[in-house]
């Protein structure tokens, strides 16, 4: 059986890839070696940028309905608030962190996939593959032990931190395991604890983090020492309570645990997310500290980035060279996420009392500066991710200052054109580029590029500069912009992208 794309792994990243590819008309197989999806809550947060991507996939509402909105975070030291981060400062439609256990995220993605006729093939394991240059030949092992040889044009390795795909490519997973031990416990908490904000306690003995899940249920995370040796003993509720008593806010009692675990933090990443016809996405390409809760979100966005490019190339609408932009774009984002999560972790687990005091003073002072708070919000919510240095982002004469080249393209109501769409992101949902004129005459697109782009107009909007035309990618980033009397430049770029048609 030959399919355009074989997706290995049905975690959140593989499922997202399958959803986006199928919605954009690309057939696929998605396999997973496990018998059932995870029952564990693992990643709890869907950040606003991921929600925007799910909106473009037409399914964000089911996540919003299933989740709980957390509206901020407070950092405490000795029961004083050092910093209060409020997510109502998010410049977009989702001014909150949506708390959804990963088991539910995977269920919702699978349900969306079922609606468009895609089902995960379970207990099917990728054993090996060969990239023949013009396609992939892979060996899959089924539950009854028989091996199947399959051909596909591309292989997406979404198979997690221990990725078979990455090992087969012999791609180095460079980085370290941090010399610190951690514990997590999903428990019910009695006592005073914010149910719609994250609470971070920096104490002389280490950090204690409370993430609201639903009602009185919280995830408690703490570092439990700098020993380089992993503690393999099972975590007990008594240990969790002892940490709460020592480091938490007063009067908290933990009970009814549903998941308790020790873990170590790995900070590792591949350099190249692509080798030939094989792509690495999600944890297969990058793992890091859970500080900032960005692992799954970053992985899902890897999938959104790759899916529209694969779809355009598969449909013969764009040159295969478009696929060369996946690795540099997402590797740069991966570097940034690793760096930020690493800093957050190291700052939180400082043990030296003088450094702790300096940290607390600095954070308390910075927390009073609105611009710093805004930067933290943009970074945490991934709204500041950009492709400014991507080969796909083009400098152009008369470019607008907002959003600038390579930056996120916020959703905006449309006044004209748009092929019946009423919002910018509805155009992007079709997998096409949008050519958006803001407070200017709508652009007429030549037939030769209409199959990859749709023209639309919008009235003045504070996010965009009047009198400009923007070329926007299907994953809502600005490729280029120019003055409204220079639309020939945008059309010429579209013609170049389509040159492989």
Ligand X SMILES: Cc1cc2nc3c(=O)[nH]c(=O)nc-3n(C[C@H](O)[C@H](O)[C@H](O)COP(=O)(O)OP(=O)(O)OC[C@H]3O[C@@H](n4cnc5c(N)ncnc54)[C@H](O)[C@@H]3O)c2cc1C
- Using the rule CB under 6 A, is 282 a contact of ligand X? yes
Which residues from 119-148 bind ligand X, rule CB under 6 A? 125-126
Kindly tell me which of 40 and 271 has the beta carbon lying closer to ligand X.
40
- Using the rule CB under 6 A, is 390 a contact of ligand X? no
Region of 366 please: left (phi>0), alpha (psi -120 to 50) or beta.
alpha
Ramachandran angles phi, psi of 395, nearest 5°: -70, 145
Contacting ligand X (CB under 6 A), which of 6, 20, 44, 108? 44
Contacting ligand X (CB under 6 A), which of 164, 180, 241, 381? 164
Which residues from 220-279 bind ligand X, rule CB under 6 A? 263
> Which tokens sit at 333?
């984002």
- Using the rule CB under 6 A, is 102 a contact of ligand X? yes
CB proximity list for 17: less than 8 A, separation 6 or greater:
5, 7, 30, 156, 158, 281, 303, 306, 307
> Which tokens sit at 314?
């598969």
Kindly tell me which of 31 and 480 has the beta carbon lying closer to ligand X.
31
Cα separation, 476 vs 206, in Å, equals 39
CB of 302 to ligand X, least distance (A): 8
CB atoms closer than 10 angstroms to residue 83? 20
Kindly tell me which of 4 and 282 has the beta carbon lying closer to ligand X.
282
> Which tokens sit at 41?
């809550």
Nearest Cα to Cα of residue 159 among 284, 285, 269: 284
Q: How many CA atoms does the CB half-sphere of 133 hold within 13 Å? A: 0
CB of 16 to ligand X, least distance (A): 8
CB of 435 to ligand X, least distance (A): 33
DSSP element (H, E) containing 264:
strand 253-269
For the purposes of burial, counting CB atoms within 10 Å of the CB of 27, is it exposed (0-12), middle (13-18) or buried (19 or more)? middle
**Residue with CB nearest ligand X?**
11
- Using the rule CB under 6 A, is 13 a contact of ligand X? yes
Kindly tell me which of 22 and 33 has the beta carbon lying closer to ligand X.
33
Q: Are strands 125-131 and 136-141 parallel, antiparallel or unpaired?
A: antiparallel
Contact track, ligand X, 284-303, x by CB under 6 A: ------x--xxxxx-x----
Strand partners, 394: none
- Using the rule CB under 6 A, is 54 a contact of ligand X? no
CB of 298 to ligand X, least distance (A): 7
Kindly tell me which of 36 and 354 has the beta carbon lying closer to ligand X.
36
Binding segment toward ligand X, per CB under 6 A, in 157-165, 406-414, 417-425, 470-478: 157-165
- Using the rule CB under 6 A, is 12 a contact of ligand X? yes
**Binding stretches for ligand X (CB under 6 A):** 8-14, 31-34, 42-45, 102, 125-126, 158-160, 164, 184, 263, 282-283, 290, 293-297, 299
């Amino acid at each position: 059986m030959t399919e355009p794309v074989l997706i290995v792994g049905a975690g959140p990243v593989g499922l997202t890839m399958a959803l986006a590819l199928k919605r954009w008309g690309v057939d696929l197989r998605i396999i997973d070696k496990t018998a059932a999806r995870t029952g564990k809550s693992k990643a709890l947060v869907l950040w606003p940028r991921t929600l925007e991507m799910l909106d473009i996939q037409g399914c964000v509402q089911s996540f919003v309905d299933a989740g709980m909105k957390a509206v901020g975070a407070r950092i405490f030291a000795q029961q004083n608030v050092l910093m209060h981060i409020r997510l109502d400062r998010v410049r977009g439609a989702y001014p909150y962190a949506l708390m959804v256990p990963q088991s539910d995220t995977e269920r919702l993605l699978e349900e969306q996939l079922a609606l468009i006729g895609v089902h995960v093939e379970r207990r099917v394991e990728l054993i090996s593959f060969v990239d023949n240059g013009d396609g992939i030949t892979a060996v899959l092992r089924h539950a009854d032990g028989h091996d199947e040889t399959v051909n596909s044009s591309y292989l997406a390795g979404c198979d997690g931190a221990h990725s078979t795909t990455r090992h087969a490519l012999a791609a180095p997973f460079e980085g370290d395991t941090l010399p610190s031990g951690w514990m997590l416990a999903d428990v019910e908490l009695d006592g005073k604890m914010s149910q719609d904000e994250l609470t971070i306690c920096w104490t002389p003995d280490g950090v204690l983090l409370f993430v609201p899940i639903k009602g009185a249920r919280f995830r408690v995370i703490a570092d439990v020492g700098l020993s380089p040796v992993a503690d393999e003993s099972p975590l007990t509720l008594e240990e969790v309570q002892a940490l709460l008593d020592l480091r938490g806010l007063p009067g908290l009692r933990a009970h009814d645990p549903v998941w308790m675990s020790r873990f170590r933090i790995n900070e590792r990443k591949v350099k190249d997310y692509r080798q030939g016809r094989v792509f690495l996405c999600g944890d297969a390409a990058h793992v890091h500290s859970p500080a900032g809760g960005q692992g799954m979100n970053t992985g899902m966005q890897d999938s959104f980035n790759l899916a529209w490019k694969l779809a355009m190339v598969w449909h013969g609408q764009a040159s295969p060279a478009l696929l060369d932009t996946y690795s540099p774009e997402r590797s740069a984002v991966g570097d940034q996420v690793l760096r930020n999560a690493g800093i957050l972790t190291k700052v939180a687990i400082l043990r030296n009392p003088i450094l702790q005091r300096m940290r607390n003073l600095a954070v308390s002072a910075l927390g009073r500066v609105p611009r710093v708070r805004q930067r933290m919000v943009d970074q945490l919510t991934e709204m500041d991710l950009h492709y400014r240095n991507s080969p796909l982002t083009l400098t152009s004469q008369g470019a607008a200052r907002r959003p600038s080249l390579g930056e996120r393209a916020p959703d905006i109501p449309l006044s004209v054109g748009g092929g019946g769409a009423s919002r910018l992101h509805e155009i992007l949902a079709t997998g096409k580029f949008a050519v958006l004129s803001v407070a200017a005459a709508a652009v007429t697109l030549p037939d030769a590029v209409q199959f990859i782009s749709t023209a639309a107009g919008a009235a003045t909007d504070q996010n965009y500069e009047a009198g400009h035309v923007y070329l926007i990618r299907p994953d809502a980033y600005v490729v280029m912009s120019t003055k409204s009397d220079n639309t020939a430049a945008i059309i010429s770029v579209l013609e170049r992208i389509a040159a492989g048609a």
